[in-house]
Amino acid sequence: MAVVFANANPNLDELINPQTADATQRARLLREKYKMDPEFMKQVDERYGPLEWRLPEAHAIYWAAKGLEAAKANPSKINPEDLITLRRVVYPSLQLSFHRGRLVMNPIEGLFEFGPHLDIVPKVNEAYEQMAEDDAKMRDHILKAHRNFLRDAVYFLYVNNRLDSAGYWFKYLGTKYPDKPILDNKPNSFPRTLTLDEYAVGRVAEDVAETSPDRIKSAVEGMLVNAYRSLAIDDDDGYQGYRNLARQVWTTYMSKIPKERLAAIGLPPFEEIEREIVRRLLDPQEGLPSEYRAVLRTKLRLPAEPKMPAPGTNSPPPKVSTTNSPPSKISTK
């Protein structure tokens, strides 16, 4: 598919009405070799997408939709169970598209990385609800999967700094499933009893022991590493989202500790943890690859990395300069 789309983001209009010899050749390749119709792809994209056509889950949805269209044209030959089978291809493929259906170009390493495809949350939600209506036998199973999808959608949107959308779907989750807990192993964690921030922090707490300062500190550090790695590849929303969540986790944990226990089980100040993470990431010996370090230094308004001593000398390695605290928000637009 990278060849079909000229190694760029999919452009279906270009293949429906090719204007150049190159586009004509790629449209022929799509139709003749892969037996796919770009006009029908666009219909599928408008109904379920935007989809990432360079990933297999988009193709699973395409062929299932193609089967449903064929069934409409031949109703006398179709068993209703066959239609259900096709529909059951669509919603898990959409769920997979949501979880990892966005290709992010890493300009430093020249590689694609997977990310959650947050733009299709409304379409995935609509598909789940339609599937539950169409498939009576599996309705309870589908609604359970739908609730889990909504929980993930809220969390992923929050982590990626789409707070307005996270708030909308958090409210939707509470309206749709008001009496279902939204945190595992916490039977009283209903949407009406938690704020959006508390839910996001609770998702992190599910993976760590809430009373363990070491695990909480490790979780905060991990989110900060993700934040600064996101910043290095120009994912500003990921940077801000992970950084905000790290601070929320730190604040929540510290707020629960009695003053007399702060010295024993409290965490270092958030800014101190953040400075230490930046220092580690920018360390020429143990930190990120040099290309990442150079980008981060530029975005954090730090001086260029000192040159390492020539091989064979006994000079100590230079210290990483992190005298300036990272700014609260960085624009790389």
Report the half-sphere exposure of 5 (CA within 13 A, side-chain side): 14
Rg over CA atoms, the chain? 24
The confidence score (pLDDT) of residue 320 equals: 46
Of 148, 171, 205, which closes a domain?
A: 205
User: How many folded domains does the chain comprise?
Assistant: 2
> What's the CA gap between 254 and 297, in Å, rounded?
30
Tens digit of each residue's pLDDT (9 = 90 or more) over 204-225: 876 665 567 777 887 888 889 8
Q: How confident is the model at residue 165 (pLDDT cuts 50, 70, 90)?
A: very high
Residues 198 and 217 in one domain: no
pLDDT (average), residues 244-273:
85
Is 170 inside any structural domain? yes
Distance CA 294, CA 287 (A): 12
pLDDT at 328: 39
* Percent residues over pLDDT 90 in the chain: 37
Burial label for 106, CB within 10 Å (0-12, 13-18, 19+), is middle
Lowest average pLDDT, out of 24-33, 263-272, 273-282, goes to 263-272
Q: Residues 151, 85: one domain?
A: yes
Chain segment 310-321, per-residue pLDDT in tens: 555 555 544 444
Q: Does one domain contain both 187 and 92?
A: yes
156 and 223 both lie in a single domain:
no
106 and 244 share one domain = no
Domain range spanning residue 217?
Answer: 213-299
- Asked if 270 contacts 278 with a C-beta cutoff of 8 angstroms, the reply is no
Alpha-carbon distance of 86 to 101, in angstroms, equals: 20
Going by pLDDT thresholds of 50, 70 and 90, the confidence category of residue 309 is low
- Looking at 140, 175, 205, which one is the last position of a domain? 205
Range in 25-39, 53-67, 159-173, 258-272 with the lowest mean pLDDT: 258-272
Question: Angle formed by the axes of helices 163-176 and 139-159, to 10°?
Answer: 160
Instruction: Name the most confidently modeled range: 34-43, 122-131, 279-288.
Output: 34-43
pLDDT in tens, 69-109: 998 888 888 887 778 888 889 888 998 999 888 887 777 77
Residues 192 and 106 in one domain: yes
Report the alpha-carbon distance of residue 277 to residue 228 in Å, rounded.
9
Residue 129 lies in a domain: yes
- Whether 133 shows a pLDDT value over 60: the answer reads yes
Considering the chain, what percentage of its residues have pLDDT values greater than 70? 89
Alpha helix stretches (DSSP H) within 135-284? 139-159, 163-176, 196-205, 213-232, 236-255, 262-265, 270-281
What's the pLDDT score for residue 321? 44
**Residue 6's pLDDT is what?**
87
Same domain, 164 and 229: no
Last residue of a domain, one of 163, 180, 205: 205
pLDDT at 39 over 90: yes
Q: Do 233 and 107 contact (CB within 8 A), yes or no?
A: yes
